[in-house]
Amino acid sequence: MENVLDDHQLLDRIKEGDAEAFRILFERHWEGLYAFAWKRLKSRQDAEDVVQHVFMKIWEHRSARNIQLSIQAYLYRSVYYEVIAALKNIAGGSEEISSVTEYTLPVFSSVLEKLSLADLNELINKEVSNLPERMQQIYKLSREEDYSVKAIAEELNLSEQTVKNQLTMALSRLRKPVFESVLLLLIKDLMFP
Protein backbone atom coordinates (compact mmCIF):
# COMPACT_ATOMS: atom_id res chain seq x y z
CA MET A 1 0.00 0.00 0.00
CA GLU A 2 2.96 2.33 0.72
CA ASN A 3 3.93 2.76 -2.89
CA VAL A 4 0.77 1.87 -4.67
CA LEU A 5 -1.71 4.43 -3.52
CA ASP A 6 -1.51 8.08 -4.38
CA ASP A 7 -2.39 10.77 -1.89
CA HIS A 8 -5.99 11.06 -3.01
CA GLN A 9 -6.55 7.32 -2.72
CA LEU A 10 -4.98 7.39 0.73
CA LEU A 11 -7.32 10.18 1.67
CA ASP A 12 -10.30 8.17 0.52
CA ARG A 13 -9.21 5.35 2.83
CA ILE A 14 -8.57 7.80 5.68
CA LYS A 15 -12.15 8.97 5.23
CA GLU A 16 -13.23 5.44 5.93
CA GLY A 17 -11.16 5.43 9.12
CA ASP A 18 -8.14 3.54 7.77
CA ALA A 19 -5.40 4.32 10.29
CA GLU A 20 -2.75 2.59 8.18
CA ALA A 21 -3.48 4.93 5.26
CA PHE A 22 -3.13 7.84 7.69
CA ARG A 23 0.28 6.55 8.81
CA ILE A 24 1.47 6.31 5.20
CA LEU A 25 0.31 9.84 4.43
CA PHE A 26 2.16 11.00 7.53
CA GLU A 27 5.35 9.09 6.62
CA ARG A 28 5.23 10.56 3.14
CA HIS A 29 4.92 14.20 4.07
CA TRP A 30 5.92 14.84 7.68
CA GLU A 31 9.58 15.61 6.98
CA GLY A 32 9.09 18.33 4.40
CA LEU A 33 6.39 19.91 6.50
CA TYR A 34 8.53 19.76 9.62
CA ALA A 35 11.48 21.39 7.83
CA PHE A 36 9.15 24.03 6.48
CA ALA A 37 7.88 24.88 9.96
CA TRP A 38 11.30 24.65 11.59
CA LYS A 39 12.85 27.12 9.20
CA ARG A 40 10.25 29.69 10.14
CA LEU A 41 9.92 28.99 13.84
CA LYS A 42 13.49 28.01 14.67
CA SER A 43 12.11 25.81 17.41
CA ARG A 44 11.94 22.02 17.42
CA GLN A 45 9.04 21.96 19.86
CA ASP A 46 6.92 24.49 17.97
CA ALA A 47 7.65 22.90 14.61
CA GLU A 48 6.60 19.50 15.98
CA ASP A 49 3.40 21.00 17.35
CA VAL A 50 2.58 22.56 14.03
CA VAL A 51 3.01 19.31 12.11
CA GLN A 52 1.03 17.41 14.72
CA HIS A 53 -1.74 19.91 14.57
CA VAL A 54 -2.04 19.71 10.79
CA PHE A 55 -2.23 15.90 10.74
CA MET A 56 -4.45 15.87 13.76
CA LYS A 57 -6.99 17.99 11.94
CA ILE A 58 -6.87 15.70 8.93
CA TRP A 59 -7.71 12.73 11.09
CA GLU A 60 -10.32 14.46 13.19
CA HIS A 61 -12.14 15.98 10.24
CA ARG A 62 -11.56 13.02 7.98
CA SER A 63 -15.18 12.43 7.20
CA ALA A 64 -15.86 16.05 6.30
CA ARG A 65 -12.66 16.69 4.40
CA ASN A 66 -12.89 17.10 0.67
CA ILE A 67 -9.63 18.09 -0.94
CA GLN A 68 -9.76 19.06 -4.58
CA LEU A 69 -6.21 19.92 -5.42
CA SER A 70 -2.89 18.29 -4.62
CA ILE A 71 -2.71 16.96 -1.08
CA GLN A 72 0.81 18.27 -0.83
CA ALA A 73 -0.32 21.80 -1.61
CA TYR A 74 -3.13 21.42 0.89
CA LEU A 75 -0.72 20.25 3.60
CA TYR A 76 1.69 23.11 2.99
CA ARG A 77 -1.10 25.60 3.03
CA SER A 78 -2.21 24.26 6.39
CA VAL A 79 1.30 24.34 7.82
CA TYR A 80 1.72 27.85 6.45
CA TYR A 81 -1.17 29.13 8.53
CA GLU A 82 -0.27 27.03 11.57
CA VAL A 83 3.22 28.54 11.51
CA ILE A 84 1.83 32.06 11.46
CA ALA A 85 -0.54 31.18 14.29
CA ALA A 86 2.39 29.77 16.27
CA LEU A 87 4.43 32.91 15.65
CA LYS A 88 1.51 34.98 16.84
CA ASN A 89 1.21 32.95 20.04
CA ILE A 90 4.93 32.96 20.78
CA ALA A 91 5.33 36.68 20.20
CA GLY A 92 2.16 37.40 22.18
CA GLY A 93 3.08 35.13 25.08
CA SER A 94 2.97 36.60 28.56
CA GLU A 95 6.38 35.25 29.51
CA GLU A 96 8.96 37.82 30.45
CA ILE A 97 11.48 37.44 27.67
CA SER A 98 14.20 39.74 28.95
CA SER A 99 15.88 42.43 26.97
CA VAL A 100 16.34 40.08 24.05
CA THR A 101 12.89 40.89 22.80
CA GLU A 102 13.35 44.58 23.07
CA TYR A 103 16.67 44.42 21.41
CA THR A 104 16.06 41.84 18.72
CA LEU A 105 12.51 42.45 17.70
CA PRO A 106 13.23 45.73 15.98
CA VAL A 107 14.98 43.38 13.61
CA PHE A 108 11.92 41.92 12.03
CA SER A 109 11.03 45.50 11.48
CA SER A 110 14.42 46.63 10.28
CA VAL A 111 14.44 44.11 7.49
CA LEU A 112 10.83 43.98 6.47
CA GLU A 113 9.01 46.91 7.99
CA LYS A 114 11.30 49.40 6.32
CA LEU A 115 10.86 47.92 2.89
CA SER A 116 8.24 49.73 0.91
CA LEU A 117 5.31 47.88 -0.56
CA ALA A 118 7.02 48.22 -3.92
CA ASP A 119 10.19 46.60 -2.55
CA LEU A 120 8.19 43.76 -1.03
CA ASN A 121 6.36 43.24 -4.30
CA GLU A 122 9.66 43.20 -6.10
CA LEU A 123 10.99 40.66 -3.63
CA ILE A 124 8.06 38.35 -4.12
CA ASN A 125 7.92 38.88 -7.87
CA LYS A 126 11.55 37.91 -8.12
CA GLU A 127 10.66 34.53 -6.66
CA VAL A 128 7.62 34.25 -8.88
CA SER A 129 9.68 34.93 -11.99
CA ASN A 130 11.39 31.57 -11.46
CA LEU A 131 8.12 29.74 -11.97
CA PRO A 132 6.96 28.31 -15.29
CA GLU A 133 5.34 30.88 -17.52
CA ARG A 134 1.82 29.54 -17.27
CA MET A 135 1.97 29.44 -13.51
CA GLN A 136 3.28 32.99 -13.43
CA GLN A 137 0.41 34.07 -15.59
CA ILE A 138 -2.08 32.42 -13.27
CA TYR A 139 -0.33 33.83 -10.25
CA LYS A 140 -0.42 37.35 -11.62
CA LEU A 141 -4.07 37.15 -12.55
CA SER A 142 -4.95 35.85 -9.12
CA ARG A 143 -2.75 38.14 -7.10
CA GLU A 144 -2.52 41.35 -9.01
CA GLU A 145 -5.79 41.38 -10.87
CA ASP A 146 -7.72 39.79 -8.03
CA TYR A 147 -9.21 37.12 -10.27
CA SER A 148 -10.88 34.01 -8.90
CA VAL A 149 -10.05 30.57 -10.29
CA LYS A 150 -13.23 30.74 -12.31
CA ALA A 151 -12.28 34.13 -13.73
CA ILE A 152 -8.77 32.94 -14.53
CA ALA A 153 -10.20 29.96 -16.34
CA GLU A 154 -12.43 32.26 -18.38
CA GLU A 155 -9.68 34.78 -19.04
CA LEU A 156 -7.24 32.16 -20.29
CA ASN A 157 -9.99 30.21 -22.02
CA LEU A 158 -9.32 27.12 -19.95
CA SER A 159 -11.54 24.96 -17.81
CA GLU A 160 -11.30 25.50 -14.06
CA GLN A 161 -10.00 22.00 -13.73
CA THR A 162 -7.25 22.79 -16.26
CA VAL A 163 -6.16 25.82 -14.25
CA LYS A 164 -5.87 23.63 -11.19
CA ASN A 165 -4.15 20.83 -13.08
CA GLN A 166 -1.68 23.25 -14.61
CA LEU A 167 -0.77 24.36 -11.14
CA THR A 168 -0.32 20.86 -9.84
CA MET A 169 1.75 19.87 -12.86
CA ALA A 170 3.90 22.95 -12.63
CA LEU A 171 4.40 22.21 -8.98
CA SER A 172 5.62 18.68 -9.57
CA ARG A 173 8.04 19.80 -12.26
CA LEU A 174 9.74 22.33 -10.06
CA ARG A 175 13.12 21.66 -8.61
CA LYS A 176 12.24 22.65 -5.09
CA PRO A 177 8.59 21.81 -4.77
CA VAL A 178 8.41 22.84 -1.17
CA PHE A 179 9.59 26.32 -1.89
CA GLU A 180 7.23 26.75 -4.75
CA SER A 181 4.40 25.40 -2.68
CA VAL A 182 4.87 28.43 -0.53
CA LEU A 183 4.35 30.58 -3.55
CA LEU A 184 1.34 28.61 -4.48
CA LEU A 185 0.02 29.37 -1.04
CA LEU A 186 0.14 33.02 -1.83
CA ILE A 187 -2.36 32.47 -4.55
CA LYS A 188 -5.80 33.09 -3.23
CA ASP A 189 -8.66 30.72 -3.75
CA LEU A 190 -6.77 28.00 -5.49
CA MET A 191 -6.76 25.45 -2.75
CA PHE A 192 -10.25 26.11 -1.53
CA PRO A 193 -12.12 27.51 -4.48
Partner 1 sequence: MNKDQLSALFGRFLREEASPHEKKMVEAYMLLSESEEAEFSDREKQETKERIWSVLNPYSGERRSNNVWYANRSWWLRTAAVWVMLVGITAAGFLFRYDIMDRLFPIAWNQDITGPYEIKRVVLPDGTVVNLAPNSTISYPARYRGHARKARLSGIAFFSVVSNEKQPFTVASGNLDIRVLGTSFEVRNVPLLHDVGVTVATGKVQVRCGDRMQAVLTANQEVRYNDTVGQFSVMEKVDAAAETAWTRNVLVFRETGLEEVLKALEDRYGMKISIHPNAIKKGATFSGAFKSHESGKEILDVVCFSSGLKYTITRDNIAVITK
By CB under 8 A, the residues from 138 to 177 that bind partner 1 are: none
Q: Which is nearer to partner 1, 161 or 179 (CB)?
A: 179
Q: Which is nearer to partner 1, 25 or 138 (CB)?
A: 25
Phi, psi of 66 (to 5 degrees): -135, 100
Does residue number 4 form part of the binding site for partner 1 (CB under 8 A)? Answer: no
Does residue number 40 form part of the binding site for partner 1 (CB under 8 A)? Answer: yes
Q: Which of 80, 131, 147, 170 binds partner 1 (CB under 8 A)?
A: 80
Q: Which of 8, 91, 159, 161 binds partner 1 (CB under 8 A)?
A: 91
* Beta carbons of 79 and 54 less than 8 angstroms apart: yes
Phi, psi of 120 (to 5 degrees): -65, -40
For residue 8, the minimal CB distance to partner 1 (Å) is 20
Does residue number 38 form part of the binding site for partner 1 (CB under 8 A)? Answer: yes
Q: Which is nearer to partner 1, 43 or 165 (CB)?
A: 43
Q: Which is nearer to partner 1, 4 or 93 (CB)?
A: 93
Does residue number 123 form part of the binding site for partner 1 (CB under 8 A)? Answer: yes
* Beta carbons of 58 and 79 less than 8 angstroms apart: no
Q: Which is nearer to partner 1, 125 or 165 (CB)?
A: 125
* All residues at 6 or more sequence positions from 152 whose CB lies less than 8 Å from its CB, including other chains: 138, 141, 142, 158, 163
Q: Which is nearer to partner 1, 22 or 166 (CB)?
A: 22
Q: Where are the beta strands (DSSP E) in 13-163?
A: none
Burial 78-99 (b: 16+ CB within 10 A, else e): bbbebbeebeeeeeeeeeeeee
Q: Which of 1, 105, 146, 162 binds partner 1 (CB under 8 A)?
A: 105
Nearest to 163 by CA among 48, 68, 56: 68
Q: Which of 44, 61, 150, 173 binds partner 1 (CB under 8 A)?
A: 44
Does residue number 121 form part of the binding site for partner 1 (CB under 8 A)? Answer: yes
CA dihedral 66, 144, 165, 85 (to 10 degrees): -40
